[in-house]
Amino acid sequence: MIKEYSLSLIALLKGVVYDHQKAAWSNLTDYEADVKRYFSTIGLELFMDKSEGYAFLKQVEFEEEVDIPRLAEKRQLDFHVSLLCLVLRKYLLENDAQGGTVRAIIPQQEIINRVLLLMPVAPDEAKQQDKIVTTINKVIDIGFLRKLEDNTDNYEIHRIIKGFVNADEIDSALKRLESYASEKKIAE
């Protein structure tokens, strides 16, 4: 028997549901409790931020060892991707604190400048900037960033990054990454 909230279930299993996906979002808000109950039986948790307009599934972390396969494999982010995600999250935090618009737009050069401030000086700055641009594309693939289609080098930071990068940990994480970058440079 098909449930009234099947649209929500399928949409969430496919990925993130945003509020601009009118039918799926409306169905999800109408049946939120049912959807949570359904997914809890299979070890998944609904993470929904109505004020920011997104929802996604997270694997429940059990304290004891449970033999349940993961819906999505956890993957370790490399240094550059981690650094860029933290920089973007910090920019979003600053934008919100200044009463910025709902859409957080950041130019590519601003991204590069902010990342370069946290990296050791490299002998080949052009190569380092190319690496940052490559990292920007990786973060686009993850879904935290979107290139605007206005023939500029501007990007929109997707607010879903807030669900993955905790604002309280940004500064300490940035310091740890700076320290890691310094150690890596010394080792080379």
> Where does 15-98 have alpha helices with state H?
22-30, 32-40, 79-97
**Neighbouring C-beta atoms of residue 128, cutoff 10 Å:** 17
Q: Burial, 22: exposed, middle or buried (Cβ in 10 Å; 0-12, 13-18, 19+)?
A: exposed
Selected residue with higher pLDDT from 30 and 172: 30
Confidence (pLDDT) at 186:
47
d(CA 98, CA 173): 23
When the pLDDT of each residue in the chain is averaged and rounded to a whole number, the result is 84
Interval 122-167: pLDDT, tens: 778 888 889 999 999 999 988 889 899 887 899 999 888 888 877 7
Q: Give the lowest-confidence range in 62-66, 80-84, 133-137, 171-175.
A: 62-66
In three-state secondary structure terms, 75 is coil
Question: Do 144 and 160 meet the contact criterion of CB atoms below 8 Å apart?
Answer: yes
Confidence (pLDDT) at 172:
79
Confidence (pLDDT) at 5:
93
pLDDT at 24 over 70: yes
Selected residue with higher pLDDT from 56 and 120: 56
Q: Residue 71: which of 96, 92, 47 has the closest Cα?
A: 47
Question: Do 115 and 63 meet the contact criterion of CB atoms below 8 Å apart?
Answer: no
**Neighbouring C-beta atoms of residue 83, cutoff 10 Å:** 23
* pTM above threshold 0.75: no
Q: 145-147 and 154-157 as β-strands: parallel, antiparallel, unpaired?
A: antiparallel
In three-state secondary structure terms, 132 is helix
Residue 107: strand pairing partners = 154
